[in-house]
């Protein structure tokens, strides 16, 4: 291991990175809060300001991936679609199998110039995460409780609000609804079986309602669905801590552009279309497992310097006061002050670790692993046959 690599793997280094990320993030959250009066006067201006402020936060994590760990991201896609990426609004459907799949998504957003404006259908719990979750409020990220009865109106309304959004965005949908684990996979395949759907090897059974509601509500605004399938070379399972330790990964992303007009409007047909899409995605993963590559030519956009410049700016701005504080602390010689500082430092470290934990599959939710919680026979009146739900419940619990 070289000296630089050794340095990157040091906990102290990680703490400094977290410090810069969190303190700069909180400053930006505060600035975002200050844009609230602008919303009242000029909503589009406030949105544009927030896109740039959000870029200052998310691009720091992208810089860690691209410049610190030097992870390579290869894009497999058709050359005719390539010029359209970043120049239109699109719904992105991505597999949800890795701790850092969202970060790879962000990297591609960055390279196509839509990082600040990109959106996601995210679980409500993430909105409470300081810095990222708070930033998302001002970006009009769509949150869901993963309870269709409650989500059906709130999600539709939030999507409608995006119709006059002033800049191009990608709207990310993890249709699997939760990250892949063996247990969740087993349960979802029982659901697939009970519905007479073919089994998937590499994906959980997609939840179709969020996709349908997104497509219906973004019609006229988004023009395409980007079917994106991600994998990592050498069977690697990358983590955020690995990235922060400077571990270099190699991500491969296969993207197919599908015009939105081709997606059926009818809910049942749209659901069937999505199930077919996931069967195809499974096929691409199988091909990757067999050959180590996705279909189609490689057309990778290069990394850009902006996220690095932004990161260095915050590092320079925030390290100086931290150094000054440390010097003052040590020179004070007061045992009580030092004890308080150590306690604060420990609390901050725990906070950082908790935030990183949000990205870890091993600390993920139980959603999708307890069939009962999703398949209640008592559903709202617009839902499907309760007897079918009961049948699935019996099947999955059994």
Ligand X SMILES: CCCCCCCCCCCCCCCCCC(=O)OC[C@@H](O)COP(=O)(O)O
Ligand Y SMILES: CCCCC/C=C\C/C=C\CCCCCCCC(=O)SCCNC(=O)CCNC(=O)[C@H](O)C(C)(C)COP(=O)(O)OP(=O)(O)OC[C@H]1O[C@@H](n2cnc3c(N)ncnc32)[C@H](O)[C@@H]1OP(=O)(O)O
Residue 35 CA to residue 115 CA, distance in Å, equals 19
16 touches ligand X (CB under 6 A): no
Judge whether 77 and 299 are in contact, CB under 8 Å.
Answer: yes
- Considering only 354, 384, 386, 397, the residue that binds ligand Y (CB under 6 A) is 384
Q: Which does 364 bind (CB under 5 to 8 A by kind): ligand X, ligand Y, none?
A: ligand X
Residue 172: strand pairing partners: 92, 120
The minimum distance between CB 321 and ligand Y, in angstroms, equals 30
61 touches ligand X (CB under 6 A): yes
Q: How many CB atoms lie within 10 A of CB 160?
A: 12
Dihedral Cα 229, 231, 237, 239, nearest 10 deg: -60
Q: Where are the alpha helices (DSSP H) in 35-174?
A: 36-41, 43-63, 101-111, 132-138, 148-160
191 touches ligand Y (CB under 6 A): yes
Read off the tokens for 303. 């990394």
Q: Which does 32 bind (CB under 5 to 8 A by kind): ligand X, ligand Y, none?
A: none
The minimum distance between CB 57 and ligand X, in angstroms, equals 9
Residues 310-369 that bind ligand X (CB under 6 A): 352, 355-356, 358-359, 364-365, 367
Q: Which helix (H) or strand (E) holds 257?
A: strand 250-259
Cβ-based nearer residue to ligand Y, 187 or 244:
187
Which range, of 3-11, 14-22, 143-151, 352-360, touches ligand Y by CB under 6 A? 143-151
Residues 144-163 that bind ligand X (CB under 6 A): none
- Taking Cα atoms as reference points, which of 227, 82, 214, 73 lies closest to residue 154? 214
Residue 71 CA to residue 100 CA, distance in Å, equals 12
Residues 84-123 that bind ligand X (CB under 6 A): 102, 123
Read off the tokens for 103. 């970060």
Q: Which does 359 bind (CB under 5 to 8 A by kind): ligand Y, ligand X, none?
A: ligand X
Q: Which does 17 bind (CB under 5 to 8 A by kind): ligand X, ligand Y, none?
A: ligand X
Which range, of 13-21, 43-51, 86-94, 316-324, touches ligand X by CB under 6 A? 13-21
Give the orientation angle of helix 182-194 with respect to helix 386-397, to 10 degrees.
Answer: 140
Residue 251: strand pairing partners: 73, 232
Which range, of 113-121, 158-166, 292-300, 320-328, touches ligand Y by CB under 6 A? 113-121
φ, ψ for residue 251, nearest 5 deg? -95, 140
- What would you report as the CA-atom Rg of the chain, rounded to the nearest whole angstrom? 22
373 touches ligand X (CB under 6 A): no
Residue 268 CA to residue 208 CA, distance in Å, equals 9
The minimum distance between CB 206 and ligand Y, in angstroms, equals 7
Q: Which helix (H) or strand (E) holds 324?
A: helix 306-332
- Considering only 54, 100, 205, 224, the residue that binds ligand Y (CB under 6 A) is 205
Chain residues binding ligand X by CB under 6 A are 17-18, 21, 60-61, 64, 102, 123, 126, 129, 132, 174, 178-179, 352, 355-356, 358-359, 364-365, 367
Q: Give the residues lining the site for ligand Y (CB under 6 A).
A: 92, 94, 102, 105-106, 108-109, 118, 120-123, 126, 144, 146-148, 151, 170, 172-175, 177, 187-188, 191, 204-205, 207-211, 226, 228, 255, 368, 371, 374-375, 384, 392
């Amino acid at each position: 291991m070289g000296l630089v690599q050794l340095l990157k793997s040091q906990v102290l280094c990680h703490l400094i990175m977290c410090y810069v990320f969190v303190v700069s993030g909180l400053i930006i959250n505060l600035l975002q809060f200050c844009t609230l009066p602008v919303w009242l006067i000029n909503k589009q201006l406030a949105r544009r300001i927030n896109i740039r402020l959000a870029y200052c936060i998310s691009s720091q994590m992208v810089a860690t991936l691209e410049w610190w760990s030097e992870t390579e991201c290869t894009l497999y896609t058709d050359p005719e679609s390539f010029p359209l990426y970043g120049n239109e609004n699109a719904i992105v459907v991505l597999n949800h199998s890795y701790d850092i799949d969202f970060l790879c998504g962000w990297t591609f957003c960055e390279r196509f110039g839509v990082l600040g404006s990109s959106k996601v259908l995210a679980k409500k719990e993430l909105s409470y995460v300081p810095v990222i979750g708070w930033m998302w409020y001002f970006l009009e990220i769509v949150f869901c409780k993963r309870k269709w009865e409650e989500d059906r109106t709130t999600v539709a309304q939030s999507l409608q609000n995006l119709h006059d959004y002033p800049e191009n965005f990608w709207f990310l949908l993890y249709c699997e609804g939760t990250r892949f684990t063996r247990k969740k996979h087993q349960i979802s395949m029982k659901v697939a079986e009970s519905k007479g759907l073919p089994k998937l090897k590499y994906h959980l059974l997609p939840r179709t309602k969020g996709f349908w509601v997104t497509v219906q509500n973004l019609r006229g605004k988004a023009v395409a669905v980007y079917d994106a399938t991600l994998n990592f070379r050498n069977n690697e399972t990358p983590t955020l801590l690995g990235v922060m330790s400077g571990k270099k990964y190699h991500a491969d992303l296969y993207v197919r552009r599908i015009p939105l007009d081709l997606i059926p409007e009818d809910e049942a047909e749209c659901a069937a279309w999505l199930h077919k899409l996931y069967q195809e995605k499974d096929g691409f993963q199988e091909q990757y497992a067999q050959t180590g590559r996705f279909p189609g030519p490689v057309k990778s956009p290069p990394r850009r310097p902006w996220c690095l410049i932004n990161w260095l700016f915050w590092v320079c701005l925030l390290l100086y006061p931290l150094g000054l504080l440390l010097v003052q602390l040590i020179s004070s010689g007061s045992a009580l002050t030092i004890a308080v500082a150590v306690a604060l430092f420990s609390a901050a470290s725990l906070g950082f670790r908790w935030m990183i934990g949000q990205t870890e599959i091993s600390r993920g939710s139980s959603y999708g692993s307890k069939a009962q919680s999703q398949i209640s026979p008592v559903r709202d009146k617009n839902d499907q046959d309760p007897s079918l739900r009961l049948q699935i419940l019996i099947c999955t619990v059994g």
